[in-house]
Structure 1
Amino acid sequence: MTTEDFKRAAAEAALAHVQPGMKLGLGTGSTAALFVELLGARVAEGLHVVGVPTSESTRELAERFGVPLTTLKEEPELDLTVDGADEVDPELRLIKGGGAALLREKIVAFASKRMIVIADAKKVVPTLGAFPLPIEVVPFGKEATRRAVERAAAELGLSGKVELRRAEDACPIVTDSGHSILDGHFGRIDRPEELAAALSAIPGVVEHGLFIGLADLALIAGADGVTAIEAKPAGTEARRRTA
């Protein structure tokens, strides 16, 4: 099986958690896109749900597959968000934002009663940080903000470049909310909670890609099938089982 097959298997497993009448947060990224496609097929068969997209690309995809949409203004409390991740650690802490949608993804996840992460097994890591940490910042003063991010990371013993994300044409990436993205190449992040707090305290940082305490369940697909990793109370390890 290919990575694409594993992503689809994880997305299919998430569908089992969708009930009629649910208000859903629809994530962004390649695995979340497969979930939206599969959800559209269920809607065509008669499933009644409504979704809040976390990006304009997801909104366009949902419209293409016939998934009814709403907004957080109309439905400020959601039942379930299904989204992918760039990294997942054993405690269900995540790095997200590779698709530059981290701000809207976090807002939607926070507005949801539950969050399910869907991913292939390659996204599971013992410690976060191999994937560069996305940090969404306002364009005004972004160089000053970048330097402040570097200083905050250094105080926690983290090194590595903090770079402005650019598109293939070398122009800075602009998010759906009109912000810029910094990518922190920190390597191993041993104290993600402390880094999250330090980044949130920097003026100019809109949001960071550390999703801590938001995911309730991860559905991870690999060669041995789909494994469910359930969040546990603080101080205990997440529980694994076969999905």
Structure 2
Amino acid sequence: MKYIAACDTDAGISKYNNQDSVCVKTADTGSGRAALVMVCDGMGGLSRGELASAEVVRSFSEWFDRELPFELPDWDWETAARNVISRLRRLNAMMVDYGMREHLQLGTTATGIIAVDSKFMTFHVGDTRIYKISDKLSQLTDDHTFVNREVKNGRMTPEEAKTDPRRNALVQCVGVTADIFPEVKLGDLENGANYMICSDGFRHVLTEKELFEELSPQTVSSKKDMQKKLRQLIDTVKTREENDNITAAMFRAEF
């Protein structure tokens, strides 16, 4: 089995700071292969979005380096899912407490994939998305946004949601409210499929047709391919005058 992963990020055309944070790690251990791929989009409307996103990535990165090797021999996905939810809730409580003490507000999305051998888990808070790209493009996460909630409840059409001024308003993120309810899903990796995680700045001005055609397994199959294509798409997004930070990461398993 082989894991392939890559990422790229850009502040974009109008923002001084890049409040996105990204992490891509793979490891080959005596207990099997493992990977962590995640993107956190710090909330630009708050005062410390870059601090929030970096703190979540740092926490998961340290877990992967320091704790995962000892967990792998007795790895259990249900336990892992509970631990991820607990970690995200602890980070949320810590940031809320910090914000209250420092009289500021900070928040971030938190979305990622943890893979061990041929299985994986997604974890998700906010509107950063995970796509699976094989013979079609499939969105694996559910946007935690006001407009998505209104569409699901029948109070807004998908067409109205695309242009509604509240389309970027989150109903869940890490660091703002007293509690969060992370979305966690378990699954089997598809051999040769590409998995892509991206902030909303990456996808806003790209169509699903473009994402599928540019990132399909037939087009992108190596780390070099991933790096080249992600940079090309980021440059495309910038030429289309997207104002947000732009981040994407890709992951692929071959077995």
Q: TM-score, normalised by structure 1?
A: 0.30
Q: Which structure's residues are more often helix, by fraction? A: 2
